[in-house]
Structure 1
Amino acid sequence: MNLPRIDIDLGKIAHNVQQLKTLYGSKGINVVGVTKVIGGNPIIADILVKNGIEILADSRISNIIKMRKAGIRAQYLLLRTPALSQVEAVVIHTHISLNSELTVLKKLSEYALRNHIIHKVVLMVELGDLREGIMPSEMNAMVKEVLNLEGLVLVGIGTNLACFGGISPDADKMNELSSIAIRLEEKFKITLAMISGGNSANYNWFTSSKDVGRINSLRLGESIFLGREALRRKQIPGLFTDIFTLLAEVIEAKRKPSQPYGEVYQNANGDIPKFENEGLMDRAVLAIGMQDVIVSGITPKQKITVLGASSDHMLIDNTETSLKVGDTVAFDLNYCALLRAFSTPNISKNTINLYECASIL
Structure 2
Amino acid sequence: MNRLVIDLEALRHNVATIDAWMRAAGARWTLVTKVLCGEPTILRALAAMGVRSVGESRLANLDDVTTAMPRAEIWYLRPTHPSAVAAVVAHCGVSLNSEIETLRLIDAEAGRRGVLHRALAMVELGDLREGMLPVHLPAFCEAAQRLRHVRLVGLGANLGCLAGVLPTSEHFAQLALYRELIELKLGCRLPIVSAGTSVALPQLRAGRVPLGINHYRIGEAVFLGTDLVSGGTIPGLRDDVVILRAEVAELKRKALAPSGELGADAHVLADPARGRLGERGWRALISIGQYDAECGGLLPLDARHVVAGASSDLTVLNLGDDAGGLRVGDDVGFRLRYAALLRLMGSRYVAKVVQGAAAPALELAQERLGRRRPGRGAEIISMPRRDATPAAHGGTA
Q: Same fold (TM over 0.5)?
A: yes
Relative to structure 1, is the Cα distance of residues 136 and 325 closer, same or farther in structure 2, using a 3 angstrom cutoff? same
Contact residue 268 and residue 311 of structure 1 kept, 8 A: no
Whether the 8 Å CA contact 2:44–2:68 is kept in 1: the answer is no
Deviations 1:95-129 (A, max 9, x none): 11101111211211222222222211111011111
| 1:233 alignment partner in structure 2 | 231
Q: Per the alignment, in what secondary structure is the counterpart of residue 109 of structure 2?
A: helix
Measure the CA separation in 2 of the matches of 1:130 and 1:84. Answer: 21
- Unaligned residue ranges in structure 1 (runs of 5+): none
Provide Cα deviations, 1:234-267, integer angstroms capped at 9, x if missing partner. Answer: 4333221111110111112223333434553344
User: 1:182 matched to which residue of 2?
Assistant: 180
Deviates more, 1:32-41 or 1:154-163: 32-41
Aligned residue number for residue 287 of structure 2: 287
Distance, in Å, in 2 between the alignment partners of 1:265 and 1:294 is 21
Contact 2:193 2:214 in 1 (8 A): yes
Residue from 25, 28, 41 that aligns with 1:27 = 25
Is 1:305 the equivalent of 2:306? yes
**Residues 113-192 of structure 1 aligned to structure 2 (within 5 Å):** 113-192=111-190
Secondary structure of the corresponding residue to residue 358 of structure 1: coil
**Deviations 1:115-159 (CA, angstroms, capped at 9, x unpaired):** 222211111011111111111111110011111122211111111
- Secondary structure class of the residue paired with 1:50: helix
Counterpart Cα distance in 1 of 2:123 and 2:188? 17
Q: Is the contact between residue 268 and residue 310 of structure 2 (CA under 8 Å) also seen in structure 1? A: no
| 1:194 corresponding residue in structure 2 | 192
Report Cα offsets for 1:193-217 as digits up to 9, x if no partner: 2210120111233233377232110
Q: 1:246 to 1:270 in 2, by over 3 A?
A: closer
Structure 1 range deviating more: 68-77 or 7-16: 68-77
- Counterparts in 2 of 1:164 and 1:23: CA distance versus 1, 3 Å: same
Residue 176 of structure 1: CA displacement?
0.9
Q: Which has the larger displacement, 34-43 or 285-294?
A: 34-43
Report the Cα distance in structure 2 between the residues aligned to 1:36 and 1:313, rounded to whole angstroms.
Answer: 26
The 3-state SS of whatever aligns with 1:195 is strand
Say yes or no: does 1:336 pair with 2:334. no
Pick closer, same or farther for the CA change 1:235–1:283 going to 2, 3 Å: closer
For the residues of structure 2 that align with 1:36 and 1:255, how far apart are their CA atoms? 41
Letter in 2 for 1:305: V
TM-score normalised by L of structure 1: 0.91
C-alpha spacing 1:267/1:112, structure 2 compared with 1 (3 Å): same
Residue 223 in 1 paired to residue 221 in 2? yes
**1:300 Cα deviation (Å)?**
0.9
What is the distance in 1 between the residues matched to 2:12 and 2:2? Answer: 25
Runs of 4+ aligned structure 1 residues displaced above 6 Å come to none
* Correspondences of 1:35-184 after superposition (within 5 Å): 35-184=33-182
Question: Relative to structure 1, is the Cα distance of residues 45 and 212 closer, same or farther in structure 2, using a 3 angstrom cutoff?
Answer: farther
Q: CA RMSD in A?
A: 2.2
- Relative to structure 1, the CA distance from residue 35 to residue 267 in structure 2 (aligned partners, 3 Å threshold; closer, same or farther) is same
Displacement of 1:71 in angstroms is 4.4
The answer as to 2:281 corresponding to 1:278 is no
1:351 counterpart SS class: strand
* Counterpart position of 1:242: 240
C-alpha contact (below 8 Å) 2:202/2:234 kept by paired residues: no
CA distance in 2, matches of 1:45, 1:136: 36
Counterparts in 2 of 1:260 and 1:45: CA distance versus 1, 3 Å: same
Aligned to 1:320: 322
CA contact (8 A) 2:285 2:315 kept: yes
Could you list the runs of 5+ residues in structure 2 that have no partner in the other structure?
363-397
**Partner amino acid for 1:310?**
S
Q: Percent identity?
A: 34
Q: Which amino acid aligns with 1:289?
A: G
Q: Distance in 2 between matches of 1:248 and 1:331?
A: 8
Distance 1:27 1:265, change over 3 A: closer
Q: Is the 8 A contact 1:42 1:72 kept in 2?
A: no
- The letter of the residue matching 1:320 is D
2:379: which partner in 1? none
Measured in 1, the distance between the counterparts of 2:83 and 2:266 equals 34
Secondary structure, counterpart of 2:96 in structure 1 = strand
